[in-house]
Amino acid sequence: MTTLVQPEVESSGASGVTGSRPASFTGLAQLVRLVLRRDRVRLVLWVGGIVGLVVATAASIVGLYDTPEDLERYARLVRGNAALIVQAGPGYGLDDPTTGAVVMNEMGIWTLVAAALMSVFMVVRHTRTEEETERAEMIRALPVGRHAQLAAAMIGVTIANVLVATGVGITLIAYDLPAAGSVAYSLSLVGVGSVFAGGAAVASQVASGSRAALALGGAAIAAAFVLRAIGDVNESVLTWLSPLGWGQGIRAYADERWWVLVLPALATVGLVTAAVALQARRDLGAGLLPERAGPSVAAPRFSTPGALAWRLQRGALFGWMTGIGLFAFFYGIVADQAESILEDNPEMEDFLAQLGEGSIIDAFLSTAVLILALTATGFTIASVLRLRSEELAGRVEPVLATPTPRWRWAVSHLAVAVAGTVALMLVIGGVTGLGLALASGDVSTFWPIMGASVAMVPAMLVLAGVALLLYGMSPRWALVAWGAFAYTLVIGLLGSVLDLPEWALDVSPFTHVPAMPAAGFAWTPMVALLAVAALLAAAGVAAFGRRDVS
Amino acid sequence: MSAAISIEQVVKTFGPTRALDGLDVEVATGEVHGFLGPNGAGKSVTIRVLLGMLRADSGTARLLGGDPWRDAVDLHRRLAYVPGDVNLWPNLSGGEIIDLLARLRGGVDKRKRNELVERLALDPRKKARTYSKGNRQKVALVAALSSNAELLLLDEPTSGLDPLMESVFQDCILEATGEGRTVFLSSHILAEVEKLCDRVTIIREGRAVQQGTLDELRYLTRTSVTVATERPLEGLDAIDGVHNVATEDSHVRFDVDGHALDAAIRHVSGFGIRSLVSQPPTLEELFLRHYGDELAVDGDGPAPGTESGELADPPEHGGHPDGAGP
């Protein structure tokens, strides 16, 4: 890379930019260095987090299933189980189960999703966010090519994905898993990460704001997940429309299909080419759609901090509602199929009998609602942390220079977070129930699912409280809230696999939510969680009132 | 006259940096007070302490008779603020932002608002995302000036405006003072301060290095004099406070400190003045003198020995060393 660019920089200094090569990528080497310098902490956290998760999962699986009988017992439980296929994937290699196949089934899809998320965040951060903050203008005013920043972001994200893949590959090999499968999975991590990086590059051209670009990228990941889930359950072609499906389609540890790697490679090239073409056609700072004029006078009710917070966040909330509503509908429809598995899977029946009194559909729904609630917590935290981005963007100053008390401004965004969280869980409950009712013709499950959804709210609000407390102490610490979110995700999705001590599970508020509708409702944990959330939030508001506003 | 702003010995540190280092500022009610200093002198930090965004480490700050930290909300009903770096919500239109900020303060004076929008030639329908720096500043100015606040805190409010808009802004400020409002205007645009301000505080490295009326400060600065005399002018160099004496043909040009003006002219008149042109000091020169030691390093002025001593230790305002005659 350096050798490619260096002569160009020199020649542009000597004879101008009218060389034989297009100068669109001039300055690339310096910009890549800038990307890596800016992200050195983030990269360590992402790579360390993802690899750490793989280490923990692999360790516990290798420990739990160390005899062929153990592996077979696991496989019998999972094979053909639509409910688990939705969440884990097709389960390649479980017909004749190896440790590798079990590891893939347990963490394969989530690690792919994590790499995809990392890639989307990183690309948007270095492209659209740069334009939005007008830093890009400063860079572009230098002798830097039109596409150099985009290219630098893509190279940076590729380096990040390679680091993740290398760490994961080494981990898997270190746990005595076959080298071929480990390498295959590592390569598919790079492939999937790159496809979504390319998607984020396109999103950054289309959207005129970084939040919208992130939303498009996130929606792409969600869509890919749903496509492959439906495809995996029906064994249909839909899986092959999903980059996440390709990531699993390589069949790591199960008779690898190396040619599948061609798909993400082609898709990445196509997406990056599209992004470059779009970038060449638009003005710096502009999206694809022209900016419409707004009203010259504000609507009468647009006069309070609450109205402002709602205005700033409603777009994100509607986006979340739509996205998670689609997810929920799909889970509802699939839930019906869960029952048919029972008939030819006595092990599953035993397994569920151990869980509690609920039916298999109830057990599936409990898990589905938990997963949806964990995902929706992403909105809850982002919504509270809007306080942070408003402050760092210097937009809190004009508001606080009016007679608006600090607590009122903080509570205005918290109120949107709380109301939005409740709304999301109502959507999740209602749409999952609707999907199941449509699929099964049985409406009796509607209210239990609704109840299960709403019961998640107190646990989600505890995380809102954590985010607010961290923000109240310092906007710099506020991002630790995402660490807390990641922790609850890991505990929620992998807690049973990871073989963790009791207290580590108890730290996550979701551990204390009764697994409705499989389990019954209980008041005590709900009230306790709400009290904790309220205390955290109050402490956060109090802390915010005492510190300097930057 | 009661003080609108009174800052005494305020210290504010950020880690190892002492942003404010024992700052004193006094702003009387009804005056336009200029707050001058180079980048990083602590102007914005001072304003943010006054707004209750930052809490001073020590010292006392009083604003409109209240404590800017403790009474922030009540005080903010009575003041309007224009930040130096105006950041707006990208997806709201300028008009919506103006109305929102005005309503948060207590209400919109529609007539005033529309008049200002027109005078500043702002298109309120555009989304803030598409505004230039100057237009963002106009949004903040309209929001602040259309209020009936008794104190205006303005942090370099014209740094993005073109000269035409700058003069509109100046008219608006003069109207505001006509209504009896107090204006605290931080700036490094000296012409603006000179045109608008009754009194000036010069801040440097977190301390006030000068405070006074423009006249008082001018008194301390050098007047440029070009004089032609009947007999050859001699002995001018010996007067304390006279600098840069240069003879060109029949004219002699020199700069003289305010306190030495009397002595110098008396000396010159002894040689029979045929013509005399004097140029009053501009704030520009005043300003340069306070940061002159940086310039002096670059070899500014022919008498660096005496000058650097004076610059490091400027005379107290109002101090009149007796005019030592010839």
Between residues A355 and A384, the one the model is more confident about: A384
* Confidence category of residue A345, pLDDT binned at 50, 70, 90: low
* Dist. CA A516–CA B298, nearest whole Å: 78
Among the partner residues A293, A315, A402, nearest to B104 by beta-carbon distance: A402
Whether A398 and B103 lie within 8 Å, measured CB to CB = no
Provide mean pLDDT across the span A383-393: 95
The reply to whether A14 touches chain B by the CB within 8 Å rule is no
Q: Which residues contact B106 (CB under 8 A, 6 or more apart)?
A: A403, B77, B147
In a domain, A494, yes or no: yes
Considering the domain architecture, whether residues A174 and A32 belong to the same structural domain is answered as: yes
Which CATH superfamily hosts domain B3-216? P-loop containing nucleotide triphosphate hydrolases (3.40.50.300)
Q: Say if residue A517 is preceded by a cis peptide, omega within 30 of 0.
A: yes
* Dist. CA A387–CA A150, nearest whole Å: 29
Provide mean pLDDT across the span A335-364: 63
Nearest chain A residue to B53, by CA: A549
State the distance between the two ends of chain A, measured CA to CA, in whole angstroms: 40
Element (H or E) spanning B13, and its range?
strand B3-14
Min distance A275 CA to chain B CA atoms (Å): 22
Q: For A245-265, what is each residue's pLDDT tens digit?
A: 999 999 999 999 999 999 999
Would you state the pLDDT for residue A146?
A: 87
Q: What is the DSSP letter of B127?
A: B
* Confidence category of residue A183, pLDDT binned at 50, 70, 90: very high
Among the partner residues A294, A308, A393, nearest to B100 by beta-carbon distance: A308
The reply to whether A405 touches chain B by the CB within 8 Å rule is yes
Residue A183 backbone dihedrals phi, psi, to 5 degrees: -65, -40
Q: What is the DSSP letter of A23?
A: G
Nearest chain B residue to A406, by CA: B73
* Dist. CA A538–CA A544, nearest whole Å: 10
Whether A294 and B126 lie within 8 Å, measured CB to CB = yes
Considering the domain architecture, whether residues A380 and A487 belong to the same structural domain is answered as: yes
* Residue among A253, A69, A248, A90 nearest A176 (CA): A253
Among the partner residues A295, A297, A549, nearest to B53 by beta-carbon distance: A549
Would you state the pLDDT for residue B310?
A: 34
Considering the domain architecture, whether residues A282 and A318 belong to the same structural domain is answered as: no
* Dist. CA A344–CA A424, nearest whole Å: 36
Element (H or E) spanning B83, and its range?
none
In a domain, A17, yes or no: no
Among the partner residues A302, A394, A403, nearest to B105 by beta-carbon distance: A403
Q: Name the token pair of A170.
A: 């080494």
* Dist. CA B98–CA A190, nearest whole Å: 48
Query: What strands lie across the sheet with B199-204, from one edge to the other?
Result: B79-82, B151-155, B182-187, B32-36, B199-204, B207-213
DSSP-assigned states of every residue in A398-438: HHHTTT--HHHHHHHHHHHHHHHHHHHHHHHHHHHHHHHHH
State the distance between the two ends of chain B, measured CA to CA, in whole angstroms: 42
The reply to whether A297 touches chain B by the CB within 8 Å rule is yes
| Burial (0-12, 13-18, 19+ Cβ within 10 Å), A361 | buried
* Residue among A113, A145, A268, A134 nearest A201 (CA): A268
Would you state the pLDDT for residue A63?
A: 82
Considering the domain architecture, whether residues A233 and A332 belong to the same structural domain is answered as: no
Element (H or E) spanning B129, and its range?
none
The reply to whether A441 touches chain B by the CB within 8 Å rule is no
Question: What does chain A come to in residues?
Answer: 550
CA A30 to chain centre: 30
The class level of CATH for B222-312 reads: alpha beta
Q: For A68-97, what is each residue's pLDDT tens digit?
A: 888 888 888 777 777 778 888 888 988 888
Min distance A325 CA to chain B CA atoms (Å): 26
Min distance B309 CA to chain A CA atoms (Å): 39
Partners of residue B126 in chain A, C-beta under 8 Å? 291, 293-294
Q: How many domains does chain A have?
A: 2
Provide residues of B within 8 Å CB-CB of chain A: 48, 51-55, 72-74, 76-77, 79-81, 83, 85-93, 95-101, 103-106, 124-127, 129-130, 140, 143, 153
Q: Name the token pair of B6.
A: 């009174």
A458 close to A509: Cβ distance less than 8 angstroms: yes
Considering the domain architecture, whether residues A243 and A365 belong to the same structural domain is answered as: no
Would you state the pLDDT for residue A346?
A: 61
Nearest chain A residue to B56, by CA: A548
Residue B253 backbone dihedrals phi, psi, to 5 degrees: -115, 135
B151 close to B64: Cβ distance less than 8 angstroms: yes
Would you state the pLDDT for residue B322?
A: 37
Considering the domain architecture, whether residues A85 and A31 belong to the same structural domain is answered as: yes
* Residue among B216, B207, B209 nearest B312 (CA): B209
* Dist. CA B199–CA B218, nearest whole Å: 11
* Dist. CA B258–CA B227, nearest whole Å: 17
Q: What is the DSSP letter of A465?
A: H
In a domain, A463, yes or no: yes
Whether A405 and B73 lie within 8 Å, measured CB to CB = yes
Q: Name the token pair of A92.
A: 């390649």
Residue B224 backbone dihedrals phi, psi, to 5 degrees: -90, 130
Q: Which residue has the tokens 């999703």?
A: A113
Q: Which residues contact B249 (CB under 8 A, 6 or more apart)?
A: none
Whether A302 and B100 lie within 8 Å, measured CB to CB = yes
**Chain A, window 173-232: residues with a beta carbon less than 8 angstroms from a chain B beta carbon:** 208-209
Would you state the pLDDT for residue A356?
A: 53
Would you state the pLDDT for residue A342?
A: 54
* Dist. CA A162–CA A323, nearest whole Å: 30
Whether A395 and B54 lie within 8 Å, measured CB to CB = no
Partners of residue A549 in chain B, C-beta under 8 Å? 48, 53-54
Partners of residue B79 in chain A, C-beta under 8 Å? 401
Q: For A23-73, what is each residue's pLDDT tens digit?
A: 788 888 999 999 999 999 999 999 999 999 899 888 888 888 888 888 888
A264 close to A240: Cβ distance less than 8 angstroms: no
Q: For A104-145, what is each residue's pLDDT tens digit?
A: 998 899 999 999 999 999 999 999 999 888 788 888 888 888
In a domain, A1, yes or no: no
Could you state, in order of their start, the residue ranges of all structural domains in chain B?
3-216, 222-312
Provide mean pLDDT across the span A354-365: 68
Question: What does chain B come to in residues?
Answer: 326
Would you state the pLDDT for residue A4?
A: 41
Residue A8 has pLDDT above 60, yes or no: no
Considering the domain architecture, whether residues A284 and A308 belong to the same structural domain is answered as: no
Residue A9 has pLDDT above 70, yes or no: no
Range of A456's domain? 304-550
Q: Is B221 helix (H, G, I), strand (E, B) or coil?
A: coil
Query: Across the A/B interface, how many CB contacts are shorter than 8 Å?
Result: 118
Partners of residue A304 in chain B, C-beta under 8 Å? 103-104
In a domain, A433, yes or no: yes
In a domain, A225, yes or no: yes
* Residue among A510, A523, A220 nearest A377 (CA): A510
Query: What is the β-pairing status of strands B17-28 and B3-14?
Result: antiparallel
Per the confidence metrics, is the pTM higher than 0.80?
no
CA of A80: how far to CAs of A128, A240, A254, B59, in Å?
43, 19, 16, 73
Interface-testing mutation among B10, B51, B96, B108, with chain A (most A C-beta atoms within 10 A) = B96
The reply to whether A290 touches chain B by the CB within 8 Å rule is no
Considering the domain architecture, whether residues A428 and A323 belong to the same structural domain is answered as: yes
CA of A229: how far to CAs of A81, A224, A337, A368, A399, in Å?
12, 8, 13, 13, 46
In a domain, A4, yes or no: no
In a domain, A107, yes or no: yes
Considering the domain architecture, whether residues A172 and A219 belong to the same structural domain is answered as: yes
* Residue among A209, A309, A204, A138 nearest B130 (CA): A209
Q: Name the token pair of B97.
A: 């932002």
pLDDT by 10s per residue, chain B, length 326: 578 999 999 999 998 999 999 999 999 999 999 998 888 889 999 999 999 999 999 999 999 999 999 999 999 999 999 998 899 998 899 999 999 999 998 888 899 999 999 999 999 999 998 898 899 999 999 999 998 899 999 999 888 888 899 889 999 999 999 999 999 999 877 777 888 898 999 888 899 988 888 777 766 667 888 999 888 888 888 888 888 888 887 788 888 887 788 888 889 888 889 999 888 766 666 667 666 655 444 433 333 333 333 333 333 333 333 333 33
Angle between helices A406-440 and A446-455 (to 10 degrees): 150
Nearest chain B residue to A408, by CA: B73
CA of A286: how far to CAs of A140, A280, A281, in Å?
14, 12, 10
Nearest chain B residue to A394, by CA: B87
Q: What is the DSSP letter of B93?
A: B
Would you state the pLDDT for residue A2?
A: 40
Partners of residue A406 in chain B, C-beta under 8 Å? 72
* Confidence category of residue A347, pLDDT binned at 50, 70, 90: low
Interface-testing mutation among B11, B79, B91, B113, with chain A (most A C-beta atoms within 10 A) = B91
Q: What is the DSSP letter of B66?
A: B
* Residue among A294, A295, A455 nearest A372 (CA): A455
Provide mean pLDDT across the span A436-448: 87
| Burial (0-12, 13-18, 19+ Cβ within 10 Å), A343 | exposed
ipTM: 0.75
Between residues A21 and A113, the one the model is more confident about: A113
Whether A209 and B51 lie within 8 Å, measured CB to CB = no
